[in-house]
Structure 1
């Protein structure tokens, strides 16, 4: 095969390969990458209460508020699984409340979360995913998001410092928080 013909064939194959790679990238970007829309929410736990069977003195209790249809929940599931593996052996109890009217289930990695019906005051939550943490005296110590930003990891989480402080017996009072992050509406659509 003459050199000029070989160079033309190699160049044509390289151009076709590059075009296929660009098309694959554009398809992936359109299918899986979404721009992060900053949404600011005010989380106020003033009306939030544990159900009667969990209220009062006891272990530290963490309640995960989630919506199966919310893509923001995927961003914190790995972090929540890490929280369970780290703090459940220390006696922290983990619960989950699903958005009213939604259908779905948590992944197997979060099977340690005990399901709860709606908590008193949870019908007016501003958004999900959210978390409520009650101390050993049964007082709401924290209510708000897991972190600020598009994703939640142990590097940017608000939760570990609160659980560590409560575990050490230090008081925490952070039941109202303003945060920007990935949130979905909580109230059920009528």
Structure 2
């Protein structure tokens, strides 16, 4: 009974929206995002920024789904994993620990520039450097609901020149761990 209660409580906690931090400034789609030269969209490809915290259970649940996006869209999209000043692990350690084939950087200010305040979150930047999508990967932390694979749907729309899709509030309501430290 205690194990079931603990599981239910943890599931409940991770399904609550992440509190919006004091002083949060919303970044709208279409806004230009200042990126460093090393990660700016290149080769005529958009960029998916994956905001990740290795201490966040939601981020760890999401890693398999993120790798699926890389294998599906890697020839059409640049991918970068963005860490949030995580002093426990270096970018190289995260890349090795999670067997990531894409660049991993430590750039906390980038989250604020994109309007991201929790992990895991995706920010898709078009080839002009404008925010095309910011939000969740899915409505479930296990990323098992194919009808609400928001990041995949947004990538498909961008790559097929369909214009930004319309998403319900669950796409943009942050769930997961607060930044910069996992406090959920």
TM-score (norm 2): 0.70
Q: Which one has a larger percent strand, Structure 1 or Structure 2?
A: 1
> How far did 1:103 drift?
2.4
Question: Please, which runs of 5 or more residues in structure 1 have no aligned partner?
Answer: 1-25
Q: Unpaired segments of 5 or more residues in structure 2?
A: none
Contact 2:95 2:101 (C-alpha < 8 Å) held by counterparts:
no
1:79 and 2:71 matched? no
Find the aligned partners of 2:122 and 2:69 in 1 and give their Cα distance.
Answer: 12
2:180 aligns with one of 170, 187, 190: 187
How much does 1:28 deviate? 5.8
User: What is the SS of the residue equivalent to 2:17?
Assistant: strand
Q: Give 1:165 deviation, angstroms.
A: 1.2
**Count of aligned pairs:** 162
The 5 Å alignment of 1:44-123 reads 44-46=26-28, 48-55=33-40, 58-89=44-75, 91-104=76-89, 105-106=94-95, 110-118=99-107, 120-123=109-112
2:173 aligned counterpart, secondary structure: strand
Aligned counterpart in structure 2 of residue 40 of structure 1, from 7, 10, 17: 17
- 1:97–1:117 Cα contact (<8 Å) kept: yes
CA root-mean-square deviation: 3.3
- Aligned partners of 1:163 and 1:83: how far apart in 2? 9
Change (3 A) 1:35 1:171: closer
1:162 to 154, 158, 172: 154
